[in-house]
């Protein structure tokens, strides 16, 4: 039956290809061909388990995931042609595409997928959260993978949609020797839509269409080139001369540059609607004497001018945060008022809290730790300095503490900081991405957990209740309550919600849903050289 | 002299070892490690997995064990492995070396050539405008921050009069054939080379002026002149050789400083050289790479010192007599 | 001044110095003041120092305050424009004089103390002590000072103290070598031998007899080092290794690096401040050189 289906699909595909070669174009929709050059920061590694965002972007092109997200953000078949649940959700059976091969021509089997899950479990920083409940993997049929779980586990299917989380790796390559030192990290043998033709990781990477890709239709582009550019002026010049057709704001391209870049006539700037939002927060170490006091925390919230940050310093390209859940999240309560700028009230609260202005006009001082430039200065240095100028007005002295990433991370881990500026992703579901910052049981020695040491059992209860509640409307109500509660207690100051901007050629179609980084879905609407 | 040389080499090795050990301990004193960096980049993660990765990298062992292992590996020619870049340190060093070598060598040659020419010109015309210019020039060379100079050059020659690229080592895609490929790289290197050479140009012109003035007063030059040799021959054949000796010596001893300058210039012009590699390794706590660069630098500086010394002894008979 | 009299008495006793009736320091000062370039440098430098001392009082506005919109071109309200946060560049340049000079001078003092102590002891005692101390010095010369300082600042935090210590500990070696060379030369001079014969203690010989005579070249070197240190600190700032709470000129350039193409004023003016200050110092150094070594004057 499955074979018949596949055969049928191949027939359709062949017909389509014949049709395509005759007419040279799809009647309506994606077209094949062309090259796209995108701007990238330095690519640190081709190891698909490397933690950095940039390495993940490349891995996403070279490796295939198990499933995929469509334009409605639903999980759809990919390498796994179909799947079914049994045993009350504790057993999942994946049927794999039978024509699928790795870049070296060897077939992709269920054993490779099981091997990849094993690698992820051992090496991926979220491995346990994604695939932890898997107890047994049955690979007796090369095109069927049966997972036996200890309990039903929702995040698994979604995690499998991104090669960032689950890249399918050939066992015969990556299973040899120490994975961390595998020579294939220099010349990866992938499973995805593109193969690496040439590279110099500090300068460029050239990826060509994998002609044997199991997906058949995709990728549409013949070639994708990642060009390492570290200087935004060069990005601008390159975009203007059409040397690059795609670049993301953030990093080198600062918020203030977007308006300027927008003037380039053949370019379009698109706000990416990723399900993965987030923001930058002023995390307060709740163990510190002055931050234990709720009035002090509220005073800070009244004194820091978030609108100025978003509207002026970020040139209107980010959004002032209101509360703990970013505006882009489904569960954001848009009736919340937050803390408007009110210097008088802030002063009054600080007086009440027992921190009057001393003779030198200063109430107290604290440090703000962030990652030193050139790392994302819009989100780190500028915010740190802005907090400094804002709080000076109410008599609080802020000492800037820019640190290398490693020291910053270590300070967070050891709870050895006054305040810090973490950039936190909400990981779609607040139960996963937001709750982790506030729950008592997540006070851990690791960045992006509840390092601030805030603990309120009511908050814990609500987050747990929301995670278990199947009804969307009721979840909404519970999250609303959490937001109100956290806003009042204000364990940290939510400063800015991230908005993602991408520059691209007008004629280049890019996905605005799902992971937005699947280059195989992009295509030229009109033929380009 | 052979034993003296042997002693110097042994001593140089001890120095390098000491530098390596000190820096190893220094970076170990810093909070955090490469796993922390990776966790931060990934936006969090599981502490247990972080611990597992740490253990698989050997970062959970006591410092002295790590140091012993590191030194042991170095004896076998293994400079370590970067878990941030997933590449061996030696390969990383080698792949970043060409850009730095080309930049420093061309800047050095440019500075020595132009500097010596200016110095000679000024020395032969003590009352001329050039003489004053050399003085002013050397003062400015001392007083200008090299990166600021680079920025100003970029503003003028990349932005207002866009004739030179402000960024990178070559065009991508690079030209297919050999000659355009080389010309393309040279075109990219004009501004960085000029910026870096300014750092030394002034000093060299001053130095060669001084030694040229000394040499021009010497007896053999007077003899040469009295023989009726043309001024050009006198200066470029007889005097230049002696006047350039101190410049070459200083250049040899300054190799470390030139590298410092290269770190800044490469960072400013985003060249794929050793400088940015070092800078990235420091900010990413990628200490095998950092140690590798420091080791390479230390070896280069020590070898350059020994060689300079040797060359100097060979060229200058006065010193040969002393020891 | 007492040590001066001390050595002059001794020197006079043995007929070595002074050759002129005028005291040597006065002669040097006279030579210095007849040098127009040097006087220009000195006046310029004094203006920078006065700016550092009184600029903030006269000027008033805090350089960290927001003075307008970010990245505004030079105009009436902000004659030198504003930076990426909307801070006034002019007030940054004026205020910057103090922290910049404080860092430069403290770091130079730090390097001078280490360098001269080690050089003096090595040169004075000679033998094994000299050998050991010179090896120690060479150790610090293996790594280029900027690279070494980068490592130190990045390993710790870029605070005032760390920056000063990093510059101090990586730049003292030339001063040590210079001091050693001078001490080696001077300790064999007759007035030193005489003082020793008269039973002077080593510490007295080092500090009161030899050091004053070794001062001229050291003073020139130290003066020039102040300028070098300003640039050194700026280079560290350029690499992002700077304390944003301290408004040095280097910091202004370093943190505005991303904007210099569209806002040239953010880096140009602090850069000019560094350039001129270092230039004044270089002129003073040149003048001192000429004044201390009148016979070597070539211009």
Q: Tell me the average confidence (pLDDT) per consecutive run of 10 residues in chain A, 529 residues long.
A: 46 44 53 91 90 88 91 86 89 93 95 95 82 91 93 78 91 91 91 93 91 88 90 79 87 83 90 76 94 95 95 92 88 89 96 93 94 86 94 94 88 94 79 86 89 93 82 86 94 92 92 81 84
C-beta atoms of B143 and C275 within 8 A:
yes
Chain B contact for C279 (CB, 8 A cutoff): yes
Q: Would you state the pLDDT for residue A157?
A: 81
Does the residue C28 lie in any domain?
A: no
Residues of A in Cβ contact (< 8 Å) with B38: 50-52, 125
Q: Is the dihedral of CA A410, A415, A418, A419 positive or negative?
A: positive
pLDDT above 90 as % of chain C:
53
- Cα separation, B257 vs C142, in Å, equals 11
Chain A contact for C83 (CB, 8 A cutoff): no
Does the residue C18 lie in any domain?
A: no
Of C69, C71, C258, the CB nearest to A232: C258
pLDDT, tens digit, 9 for 90 and up, residues B144-192: 999 999 999 988 998 888 888 877 787 766 788 888 988 998 999 999 9
Q: Would you state the pLDDT for residue A3?
A: 45
Q: How many CB pairs under 8 A join A and B?
A: 159
ipTM of the assembly? Answer: 0.88
Distance linking the first and last C-alpha atoms of chain C:
32
CB of B282 closer than 8 Å to CB of C151:
yes
Distance of alpha carbon A237 from its chain centroid, rounded? 28
Chain B contact for C146 (CB, 8 A cutoff): yes
- pLDDT confidence band for B232 (50 / 70 / 90): confident
Q: Would you state the pLDDT for residue A22?
A: 42
Q: What share of chain C is helix, strand, coil (3-state, %, to 5)?
A: 75, 0, 25
Chain A contact for B159 (CB, 8 A cutoff): yes
Q: Determine the structural domain holding residue C274 and report its residue range.
A: 36-57+80-297
Q: Would you state the pLDDT for residue B274?
A: 93
C-beta atoms of B42 and A125 within 8 A:
yes
Integer angstrom CA distances of residue A256 from A262, A316, A428, B268, C84: 11, 9, 27, 21, 9
Integer angstrom CA distances of residue A408 from C79, C153, C270: 38, 14, 29
- pLDDT confidence band for B130 (50 / 70 / 90): confident
Give the neighbours of chain B: at least 3 Cβ pairs within 8 Å: A, C
**Chain A closest-CA separation from residue C65 CA (Å):** 6
Which residues of A lie closer than 8 Å to C, measured between beta carbons? 232-233, 252, 254, 256, 260, 312-313, 372-374, 377, 381-382, 384-386, 388-389, 392, 399-404, 407
Which CATH number is associated with domain A2-63+192-272+501-524? 3.40.190.10
CB of C226 closer than 8 Å to CB of C281:
yes
Query: What is the SS3 assignment for A107?
Result: strand
C-beta atoms of A260 and C66 within 8 A:
no
C-beta atoms of A400 and C244 within 8 A:
yes
Task: Find the CATH number of the domain harbouring C158.
Answer: 1.10.3720.10
Strand partners, A320: A496
Chain A contact for C258 (CB, 8 A cutoff): yes
Number of domains in chain C: 1
Chain A contact for C85 (CB, 8 A cutoff): yes
**Chain C closest-CA separation from residue B282 CA (Å):** 7
**Candidates B14, B145, B211, partner chain C, best to mutate (most C CBs within 10 A):** B145
Residues of C in Cβ contact (< 8 Å) with A386: 85
Does the residue C29 lie in any domain?
A: no
Residues of C in Cβ contact (< 8 Å) with A399: 245
Q: Would you state the pLDDT for residue A347?
A: 96
Of C64, C66, C261, the CB nearest to A233: C261
Strand partners, A209: A194
Domain with CATH 3.40.190.10 in chain A: 2-63+192-272+501-524
Peptide bond just before A374 cis, omega within 30 deg? yes
Residue A503 phi, psi (nearest 5)? -90, 135
Residues of B in Cβ contact (< 8 Å) with C154: 30, 282-283
Q: Is the pLDDT of residue B316 over 70?
A: no
C-beta atoms of B172 and A411 within 8 A:
no
Residue of B nearest to A44 (CA): B85
Domain with CATH 3.90.76.10 in chain A: 67-174
Residues of B in Cβ contact (< 8 Å) with A201: 85
Q: Would you state the pLDDT for residue A505?
A: 94
Does the residue C249 lie in any domain?
A: yes
C-beta atoms of B26 and C235 within 8 A:
no
Query: What is the SS3 assignment for A284?
Result: strand
Of B53, B81, B84, the CB nearest to A44: B84
Compute the average pLDDT of residues C4-21. 46
Homologous superfamily (CATH) for A278-497 = Dipeptide-binding Protein; Domain 3 (3.10.105.10)
Q: Would you state the pLDDT for residue B295?
A: 93
Angle ∠(A282,A286,A287) on CA atoms, nearest 5: 135
C-beta atoms of C245 and A232 within 8 A:
no
Strand partners, A424: A279
Q: Would you state the pLDDT for residue A130?
A: 81
**Candidates A381, A387, A390, partner chain C, best to mutate (most C CBs within 10 A):** A381
- Which strands make up the sheet holding A223-228, listed edge to edge? A194-200, A204-209, A223-228, A35-40, A246-248, A500-505, A267-272
Give the neighbours of chain C: at least 3 Cβ pairs within 8 Å: A, B
Q: Would you state the pLDDT for residue C12?
A: 44
Homologous superfamily (CATH) for A67-174 = Dipeptide-binding Protein; Domain 1 (3.90.76.10)
Does the residue C22 lie in any domain?
A: no
B95-319 topology per CATH? MetI-like fold (1.10.3720)
Q: Cα dihedral angle (B278, B282, B285, B290), rounded to 10 degrees?
A: 40
Residues of B in Cβ contact (< 8 Å) with A164: none
Region for C81 from its dihedrals, namely left if φ exceeds 0, alpha if ψ lies in -120 to 50, beta otherwise = left
C-beta atoms of A447 and B81 within 8 A:
no
Q: Which residues contact C192 (CB under 8 A, 6 or more apart)?
A: C186, C205, C209, C210
What is the longest distance spanned by two Cα atoms in chain A?
A: 85
**Chain C closest-CA separation from residue B211 CA (Å):** 13
Q: Would you state the pLDDT for residue A25?
A: 44
Compute the average pLDDT of residues C104-119. 96
**Candidates C48, C132, C155, C265, partner chain B, best to mutate (most B CBs within 10 A):** C155
Query: What is the SS3 assignment for A368?
Result: strand
C-beta atoms of A389 and C65 within 8 A:
yes
**Candidates A406, A408, A411, A449, partner chain B, best to mutate (most B CBs within 10 A):** A406
Q: Is the dihedral of CA B31, B32, B37, B40 positive or negative?
A: negative
What are the residue ranges spanned by the domains of chain B?
A: 31-78, 95-319
Integer angstrom CA distances of residue A281 from A59, A242, A304, A424: 29, 37, 12, 8
Helix (H), strand (E) at residue C273: helix C265-292
Does the residue C53 lie in any domain?
A: yes
C-beta atoms of A256 and C71 within 8 A:
yes
- Cα separation, C209 vs C258, in Å, equals 54
Residue that wins the pLDDT comparison between A447 and B131? A447
Chain C residues 166-225 with CB within 8 Å of chain A: none
Strand partners, A3: none
Integer angstrom CA distances of residue C15 from A296, C206, C213: 76, 21, 15
Q: What Rg do the C-alpha atoms of chain C give, in angstroms?
A: 22
CB of A495 closer than 8 Å to CB of A321:
yes
Integer angstrom CA distances of residue B47 from A443, A447, C261: 11, 9, 43
CB of C146 closer than 8 Å to CB of C206:
no
Residues of C in Cβ contact (< 8 Å) with B290: 151
Q: Would you state the pLDDT for residue A344?
A: 95
Residues of A in Cβ contact (< 8 Å) with C261: 233
Compute the average pLDDT of residues B243-272. 84
**Candidates A310, A379, A404, A405, partner chain C, best to mutate (most C CBs within 10 A):** A404
pLDDT, tens digit, 9 for 90 and up, residues B6-20: 888 898 999 999 999
- Cα separation, A411 vs A402, in Å, equals 12
Chain A contact for B280 (CB, 8 A cutoff): yes
**Chain C closest-CA separation from residue B136 CA (Å):** 10
Q: How high does pLDDT run on average in chain B?
A: 84
Chain C residues 62-121 with CB within 8 Å of chain B: none
């Amino acid at each position: 039956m499955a074979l018949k289906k596949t055969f049928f699909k191949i027939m359709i595909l062949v017909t389509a290809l014949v049709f395509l070669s005759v007419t040279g174009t799809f009647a309506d929709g994606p077209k094949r061909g062309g090259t796209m050059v995108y701007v990238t920061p330095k690519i640190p590694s081709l190891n698909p388990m490397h933690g950095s965002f940039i390495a993940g972007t490349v891995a996403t092109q070279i490796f295939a995931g198990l499933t995929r997200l469509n334009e409605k953000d639903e999980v759809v078949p990919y390498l796994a042609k179909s799947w079914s649940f049994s045993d009350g959700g504790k057993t999942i059976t994946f049927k794999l595409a039978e024509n699928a091969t790795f870049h070296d021509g060897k077939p992709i089997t269920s054993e490779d997928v099981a091997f990849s899950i094993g690698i992820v479990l051992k090496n991926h920083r979220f491995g346990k959260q994604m695939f932890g409940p898997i107890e047994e993997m049955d690979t007796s049929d090369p095109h069927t993978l049966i997972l036996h779980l200890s309990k039903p586990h929702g995040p698994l299917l979604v995690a499998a949609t991104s090669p960032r989380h689950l890249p399918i790796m050939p066992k015969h390559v990556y299973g040899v020797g120490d994975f961390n030192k595998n020579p294939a990290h220099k010349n990866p043998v992938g499973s995805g839509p593109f193969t690496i033709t040439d590279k110099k990781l500090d300068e460029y990477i050239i990826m060509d269409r994998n002609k044997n890709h199991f997906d058949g239709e995709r990728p549409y582009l013949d070639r994708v080139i990642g060009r390492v550019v570290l200087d935004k002026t060069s990005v601008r010049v390159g975009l203007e001369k059409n040397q690059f057709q795609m670049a993301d704001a953030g990093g080198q391209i600062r918020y203030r540059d977007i308006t300027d870049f927008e003037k380039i006539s053949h370019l379009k700037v698109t706000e990416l609607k990723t399900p993965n939002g987030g923001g930058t927060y002023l995390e307060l170490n709740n163990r510190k004497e002055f931050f234990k006091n709720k009035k002090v925390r509220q005073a800070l919230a009244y004194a820091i001018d978030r609108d100025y940050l978003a509207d002026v310093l970020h040139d209107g390209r980010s959004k002032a945060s209101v509360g703990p859940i970013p505006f882009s999240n489904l569960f954001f309560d848009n009736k919340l008022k937050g803390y408007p700028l009110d210097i008088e009230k802030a002063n009054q609260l600080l007086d009440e809290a027992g921190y009057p202005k001393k003779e030198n006009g200063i109430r107290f001082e604290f440090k703000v730790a962030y990652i030193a430039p050139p790392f994302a200065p819009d989100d780190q240095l500028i915010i740190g300095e802005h907090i400094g100028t804002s709080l000076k007005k109410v008599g609080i002295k802020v000492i800037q503490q820019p640190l290398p990433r490693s020291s910053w991370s270590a300070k967070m881990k050891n709870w050895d900081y006054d305040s810090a500026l973490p950039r936190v992703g909400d990981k779609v579901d607040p139960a996963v991405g937001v709750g982790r910052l506030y729950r008592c049981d997540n006070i851990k020695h690791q960045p992006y957990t509840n390092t601030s040491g805030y603990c309120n059992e009511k908050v814990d209860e609500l987050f747990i209740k929301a995670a278990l509640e199947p009804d969307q409307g009721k979840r909404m109500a519970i999250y609303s309550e959490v937001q109100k509660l956290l806003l009042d207690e204000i364990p940290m100051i939510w400063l800015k919600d991230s908005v993602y901007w991408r520059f691209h050629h007008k004629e280049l179609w890019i996905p605005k849903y799902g992971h937005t980084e699947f280059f195989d879905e992009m295509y030229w609407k009109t033929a380009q050289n | 002299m052979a034993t003296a040389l042997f002693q110097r080499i042994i001593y140089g090795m001890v120095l390098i070892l000491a530098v390596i050990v000190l820096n190893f301990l220094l970076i170990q004193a810093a909070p955090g490690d490469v796993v922390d960096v990776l966790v931060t980049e990934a936006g969090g993660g599981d502490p247990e997995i972080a611990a597992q990765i740490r253990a698989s990298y050997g970062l959970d062992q006591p410092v002295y064990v790590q140091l012993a292992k590191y030194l042991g590996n170095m004896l076998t020619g293994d400079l370590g492995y970067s878990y941030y870049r997933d590449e061996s340190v030696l390969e990383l060093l080698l792949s970043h070396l060409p850009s730095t070598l080309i930049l420093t060598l061309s800047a050095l040659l440019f500075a020595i050539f132009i500097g010596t020419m200016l110095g000679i010109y000024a020395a032969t015309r003590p009352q001329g405008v050039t003489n004053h210019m050399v003085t002013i020039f050397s003062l400015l060379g001392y007083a200008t921050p090299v990166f600021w100079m680079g920025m100003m050059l970029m503003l003028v020659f990349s932005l207002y009069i866009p004739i030179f690229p402000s960024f990178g080592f070559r065009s991508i895609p690079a030209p297919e054939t050999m000659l355009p490929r080389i010309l393309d790289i040279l075109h990219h290197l004009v501004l960085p080379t000029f910026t870096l050479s300014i750092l030394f140009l002034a000093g060299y012109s001053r130095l060669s002026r001084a030694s040229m003035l000394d040499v021009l007063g010497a007896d053999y030059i007077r003899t040469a002149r009295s023989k009726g040799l043309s001024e050009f021959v006198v200066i470029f054949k007889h005097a230049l050789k002696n006047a350039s000796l101190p410049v070459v010596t200083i250049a040899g001893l300054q190799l470390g400083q030139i590298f410092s300058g290269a770190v800044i210039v490469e960072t400013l012009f985003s060249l794929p050289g050793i400088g940015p590699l070092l800078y990235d390794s420091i900010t990413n706590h990628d200490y095998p790479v950092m140690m590798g660069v420091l080791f390479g630098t230390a070896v280069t500086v020590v070898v350059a010192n020994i060689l300079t010394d040797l060359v100097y002894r060979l060229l200058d008979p006065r010193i040969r007599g002393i020891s | 001044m007492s040590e001066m009299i001390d050595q002059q008495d001794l020197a006079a006793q043995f007929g070595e110095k002074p050759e002129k009736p005028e005291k040597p320091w006065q002669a040097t000062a006279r030579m210095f003041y007849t040098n127009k370039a040097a006087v220009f440098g000195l006046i310029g430098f004094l203006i920078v120092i006065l700016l550092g001392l009184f600029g903030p009082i006269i000027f008033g506005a805090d350089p960290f305050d927001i003075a307008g919109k970010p990245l505004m071109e030079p105009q009436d309200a902000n004659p030198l424009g504003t930076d990426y946060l909307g801070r006034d560049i002019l007030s940054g340049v004026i205020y910057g004089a103090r922290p910049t000079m404080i860092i430069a001078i403290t770091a130079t003092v730090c390097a001078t103390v280490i360098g001269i102590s080690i050089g003096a002891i090595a040169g004075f005692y000679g033998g094994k002590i000299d050998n050991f101390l010179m090896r120690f010095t060479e150790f610090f010369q293996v790594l280029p000072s900027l690279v070494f300082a980068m490592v130190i600042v990045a390993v710790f935090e870029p605070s005032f103290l760390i920056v000063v210590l990093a510059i101090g500990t990586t730049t003292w070696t030339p001063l040590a070598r210079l001091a050693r060379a001078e001490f080696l030369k001077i300790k064999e001079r007759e007035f030193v031998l005489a003082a020793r014969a008269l039973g002077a203690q080593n510490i007295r010989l080092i500090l009161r007899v030899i050091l004053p005579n070794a001062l001229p070249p050291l003073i020139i070197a130290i003066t020039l080092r102040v300028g070098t240190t300003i640039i050194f600190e700026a280079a560290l700032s350029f690499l992002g290794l700077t304390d944003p709470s301290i408004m040095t000129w280097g910091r202004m350039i370093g943190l505005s690096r991303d904007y210099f193409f569209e806002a040239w004023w953010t880096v140009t003016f602090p850069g000019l401040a560094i350039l001129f200050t270092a230039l004044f110092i270089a002129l003073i150094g040149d003048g001192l050189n000429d004044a201390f070594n009148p016979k070597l004057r070539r211009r």
